Amino acid sequence: MTIELILGGARSGKSRHAETRALASAAAVTVIATAEALDEEMAARIRRHQADRPAAWRTVEAPHALAATLAREAAAERCLIVDCLTLWLTNLLAGAEDLPPGAEADALPRLKSEREALLATLPQLPGTILLVANEVGLGLVPEHPLGRLFRDEAGRLNQQLARLADTVTFVAAGLPLTLKGAPARNG
């Protein structure tokens, strides 16, 4: 079992890096997609990502129950790409706008249980797991409480996953920088 966390900003090349790593694995590839096509712009983005992938790759939609999907799809001879954890977290934060200022996301039972399930499930999985996530802590402090809650939860999740991962890679301008583990042999 191998877990790699691939972090980067918007349009950094993190998804492309994950795809390159999956191709290099020579394993059967399944993409676990977390995006929901809630508007035409997001639907177009999803179609573009799908068109860029090799036809032999399977895609499984998992906007919420990520741990259960990973447990069902993981296999010794398979490489799973989760693209992306940031959208998954966004999906789980639905309802957070009703939290009182300063409340932690643990007040959202679904987010708490799904996050705990993911962290407990990942170390048990066979095969290769490539986790794609945005690094959101390099910018300005968001103006609104929900934005700050999102930034804080994304940062906490990335830190927890980085501890579990064998390799952590930061991608900027399409260039991977290894933060933990063996450097990637492909670009």
In a domain, 186, yes or no: no
pLDDT, position 76: 97
Neighbour-count burial of 44, counting CB atoms closer than 10 A to its CB (0-12 exposed, 13-18 middle, 19+ buried): exposed
Does the residue 187 lie in any domain? no
Residues making up the binding site for GTP: 8-15, 33-35, 61, 83
47-51, 103-107, 158-162: which range is least confident on average? 103-107
Helices 109-121 + 145-164 axis angle, to 10? 20
Give the pLDDT confidence of 19-36 residue by residue, as tens digits: 999 999 999 999 999 988
- CB of 176 closer than 8 Å to CB of 184: yes
Q: Is 49 a catalytic residue?
A: yes
Q: What is the pLDDT of residue 91?
A: 93
pLDDT above 60: residue 83: yes
pLDDT, residue 186, reads 54
Sign of the torsion formed by the C-alpha atoms of 176, 65, 121 and 69 = negative
**2: pLDDT confidence band, cut at 50, 70 and 90?**
very high
CA 19/CA 21 separation, integer angstroms: 5
Q: How confident is the model at residue 185 (pLDDT cuts 50, 70, 90)?
A: low
Residue 151 lies in a domain: yes
DSSP code for 107: G
Query: For residue range 3-19, what is the model confidence (pLDDT) as tens digits?
Result: 999 999 999 999 999 99
The per-residue pLDDT for range 117-160, each reduced to its tens digit, is 999 999 999 999 999 999 998 888 888 888 888 999 999 999 99
What would the mean pLDDT of 83-99 be, rounded to a whole number?
88
38 pLDDT band (50/70/90 cuts)?
confident
Across the chain, what does the average pLDDT equal? Answer: 91
Is the model's pLDDT at 97 over the cut of 80? no
The DSSP symbol for 77 reads T
Omega before residue 84 within 30° of 0, cis = yes
Is 72 inside a domain boundary?
yes
Going by the annotation, the residues of the binding site are: 8-15, 33-35, 61, 83
Closest by CA to 135, choosing from 163, 166, 104, 158, is 158
The dihedral built from the CA positions of residue 145, 151, 156 and 161, taken in this order, carries a sign that is positive
Q: Which long-range contacts (CB under 8 A, 24 or more apart) does 104-107 make?
A: 105/149, 105/152, 105/153
Which candidate in 17, 49, 64, 144 is catalytic?
A: 49
Q: Two tokens at 75?
A: 């296999």
Q: What is the widest separation between alpha-carbon atoms in the chain? A: 48
Type of residue found at 187: G
Domain count, the chain: 1
- The answer as to whether 12 is a domain residue is yes
- Domain coverage including residue 173: 2-180
Query: What CATH number is attached to the domain comprising 112?
Result: 3.40.50.300
> What's this model's pTM, rounded to 2 decimal places?
0.92
- Residues 93-118: what's their mean pLDDT? 82
